[in-house]
């Protein structure tokens, strides 16, 4: 395993732990104290791994410029939907850019798009590092899908968008749920068994989060089905002309449409 894949695996492992650790602790005080440290550690970790990916991939100024354009596009799209009722067009450039330019580029695009758009929309808070990690996972997943050609590529990406949208909502609910408090059948109970807390969480998620997650999944898939093919072709042309492709294998991958 090379350093780049190891870095992505490391961030993924830490991210999974960041979302699920409340299920494995023994007291409410640990939830409160650890949350502050987690917020302080996650953002520098994501940025450090992003810088490492740029360094190891030798991404030049043209690649960085294109990354900035896609991030700006995603940020502008987020101001349109602002997450209301699951209408989040931000995922269109993230998924398409990730699919065309590969996993390291996808990681940066996912994390930095969520970060920049949060600054623009006033969405900065303790949830932001979690959004960045989840956005990176969604983008890297899109870049890692099997290769297809023609319309099958678009249908594959649209299908993935449905699954990724539901998973994104589930994990974001998971990081939010322990802080709700209260004494109800869906509340988090620190120190309770994993089975009981998992049951409480899934009832909470089904009764609250799915109202946003299902529309997000449908809307994102619709955007990809209607706009995905021409946008990916345009990105692939930019990819070739800007000389981001460095091997015959990469060139064959870029010719998927």
Q: Measured between alpha carbons, how far is 4 from 7 in angstroms, rounded to an integer? A: 5
Decide: 54 and 64 in contact? Cβ < 8 Å: yes
What's 3-254's CATH class? mainly alpha
Q: Residue 33 has what pLDDT? A: 46
Q: Determine contact, residues 252/190, Cβ cutoff 8 Å.
A: no
Please tell me the predicted confidence (pLDDT) of residue 178: 83
Q: Would you give per-residue pLDDT tens digits along the chain (257 residues)? A: 566 667 777 778 878 888 887 777 765 545 554 545 656 676 676 677 667 666 765 566 777 888 899 999 999 998 887 566 778 899 999 999 999 988 888 988 999 999 899 888 877 887 888 888 899 999 999 999 998 888 899 999 999 999 999 999 999 999 888 877 667 788 888 778 888 888 999 999 998 888 889 999 999 999 999 999 999 999 888 877 765 544 444 444 545 44
pLDDT of residue 251: 43
Provide the pLDDT for residue 37.
Answer: 63
Q: What is the pTM of this model?
A: 0.84
């Amino acid at each position: 395993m090379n350093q780049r894949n190891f870095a992505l695996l490391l961030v993924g492992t830490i991210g999974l732990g960041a979302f699920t650790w409340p299920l494995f602790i023994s007291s409410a005080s640990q939830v409160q104290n650890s949350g502050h440290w987690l917020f302080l550690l996650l953002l520098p970790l994501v940025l450090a791994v992003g810088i490492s990916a740029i360094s190891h991939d030798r991404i030049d100024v043209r690649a960085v410029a294109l990354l900035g354009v896609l991030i700006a596009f995603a940020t502008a799209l987020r101001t349109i939907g602002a997450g209301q009722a699951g209408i989040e067009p931000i995922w269109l450039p993230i998924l398409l850019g990730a699919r065309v330019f590969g996993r390291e580029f996808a990681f940066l695009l996912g994390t930095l798009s969520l970060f920049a758009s949060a600054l623009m929309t006033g969405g900065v808070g303790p949830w932001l590092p979690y959004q960045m990690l989840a956005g990176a996972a969604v983008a890297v997943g899109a870049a890692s899908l099997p290769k297809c050609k023609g319309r099958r590529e678009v249908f594959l990406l649209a299908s993935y968008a449905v699954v990724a949208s539901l998973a994104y909502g589930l994990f974001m609910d998971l990081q939010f749920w322990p802080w709700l408090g209260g004494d109800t059948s869906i509340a988090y109970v620190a120190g309770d068994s994993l089975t009981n807390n998992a049951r409480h969480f899934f009832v909470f998620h089904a009764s609250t989060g799915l109202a946003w997650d299902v529309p997000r999944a449908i809307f994102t898939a619709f955007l990809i089905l209607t706009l995905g093919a021409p946008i990916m072709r345009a990105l692939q042309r930019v990819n070739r002309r800007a000389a981001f492709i460095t091997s015959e294998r990469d060139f064959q991958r870029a010719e998927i449409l």
